[in-house]
Amino acid sequence: MSSATLTERPTRSTLFDGLSRYIPIGATVALLVAMYLGGVANYRNFDNPQLIADLFIGNAGLLIVAVGMTFVILSGGIDLSVGSVMAFSTMACAWLTVEAGLPASVVVPSVLAFGLLSGAFTGAIIHYFDVQPFIATLAGLFLYRGLTLQISDHDMSIREIDFFSWGMQRVEFGSPRDGGFSLPYISFIAFGVVILAFVVLHYTRFGRSVYAVGGSEQSALLMGLPVARTKVGVYAISGFCAALGGVVAAFYTKSANPLAGVGLELDAIAAVVVGGTLLTGGAGFVLGTVAGVMVMGLLSTIIAFQGNLSSWWARIVVGVLLLAFILLQRVLARSGERRKG
Amino acid sequence: MIKALDAAGEGKANAYLKRLMWPLIVLAALLIVNIVVTGFGFIVPEVHDGRLGGAFVNILRRSAPLLLISLGMTLVIATKGIDLSVGAVYAIGAAVACQFLLDRDQSSMQNVAVAVALALAIAAVIGAWNGTMVAYFGVQPIVATLIFMIAGRGIAQLITGGQIPNVADSSPFVEIGRGAVATVPVPIIIGVAVFAALVLLTRTTALGMLLESVGGNPEASRLAGIRSKGITVLTYLIAGICAGLAGIMGAANLGSADANNGGLWIELDAILAVVIGGTALLGGRFFLLGTTIGVAIIGTLEVTIINVGLSSQWQFTDKAIVVFIVALLQSPEFRAWILKPFRSRGAGQAPTEPDSEKALAK
**Angstrom distances, CA of residue A259 to CA of A148, B161, B219:** 8, 24, 44
Whether residue A326 lies within 8 A of chain B, CB to CB, comes out as yes
* Number of Cα atoms under 13 Å in the Cβ half of residue B200: 6
Q: How does pLDDT run across B182-220, given as a tens digit for each residue? A: 788 899 999 999 999 999 998 888 888 888 888 888 788
Our CA-based measurement puts residue B270 at a distance from the nearest CA of chain A, in whole angstroms, of: 12
pLDDT for B311 equals: 76
CB-nearest to A322 from B146, B316, B321 is B146
- CB contacts of B157 in chain A (<8 Å) are 310, 312, 315
Nearest residue on chain A to B283, alpha-carbon basis = A6
> Taking chain B (362 residues) in consecutive chunks of 10 residues, what is each chunk's mean pLDDT?
44 66 84 84 75 81 94 93 92 93 83 93 96 88 87 90 84 84 87 94 87 85 85 94 95 87 84 86 85 92 83 80 79 80 56 41 39
- CB contacts of B151 in chain A (<8 Å) are 315-316, 318-320, 322
Whether residue A338 lies within 8 A of chain B, CB to CB, comes out as no
Structural domain including A26 reads 18-340
**Position B299, amino acid:** G
B351-360 as b/e: b if 16+ CB within 10 A: eeeeebeebb
- CB contacts of B138 in chain A (<8 Å) are 330
- What distance lies between CA A143 and its chain's CA centroid? 20
Identify whether A10 is part of a domain.
Answer: no
Nearest residue on chain A to B319, alpha-carbon basis = A142
What integer is the mean pLDDT of A239-251?
Answer: 94
DSSP-derived secondary structure for A270-300: HHHHHTT--TTSS---HHHHHHHHHHHHHHH
Identify whether A259 is part of a domain.
Answer: yes
Do residues B92 and B122 make contact, with C-beta atoms less than 8 angstroms apart? yes
Tell me the domains of chain B and their CATH numbers: 2-340+349-361 (1.10.3470)
Q: What is the CATH number of the domain that holds A77?
A: 1.10.3470
* Residues in contact with A285: Cβ distance below 8 Å, sequence separation at least 6, in sequence order: A25, A275, A276, A277
Identify whether A176 is part of a domain.
Answer: yes
Calculate what percentage of chain A has a pLDDT beyond 70. 92
Q: Please check the confidence at residue A44 and state whether its pLDDT lies above 70.
A: yes
- Angle of CA points B329, B331, B334, to nearest 5°: 80
- CB contacts of B155 in chain A (<8 Å) are 316
- Note whether A142 contacts B323, CB cutoff 8 Å: yes
Comparing A154 with A65, the larger pLDDT belongs to A65
Count structural domains, chain A. Answer: 1
Identify whether A11 is part of a domain.
Answer: no
Identify whether A1 is part of a domain.
Answer: no
Q: How does pLDDT run across A60-91, given as a tens digit for each residue? A: 999 999 999 999 999 999 998 999 999 999 99
pLDDT for B3 equals: 45
**Angstrom distances, CA of residue A50 to CA of A46, A170, A296, B47, B81:** 9, 12, 17, 66, 45
- Angle of CA points B21, B24, B25, to nearest 5°: 85
* Residues in contact with B180: Cβ distance below 8 Å, sequence separation at least 6, in sequence order: B50, B51, B52, B186
Q: How far apart are CA B319 and CA A139, in angstroms?
A: 8
Q: How far apart are CA A297 and CA A159, in angstroms?
A: 26
pTM > 0.80: yes
pLDDT for B64 equals: 94
Q: Please check the confidence at residue A178 and state whether its pLDDT lies above 80.
A: no
Whether residue A331 lies within 8 A of chain B, CB to CB, comes out as no
- CB contacts of B330 in chain A (<8 Å) are 131
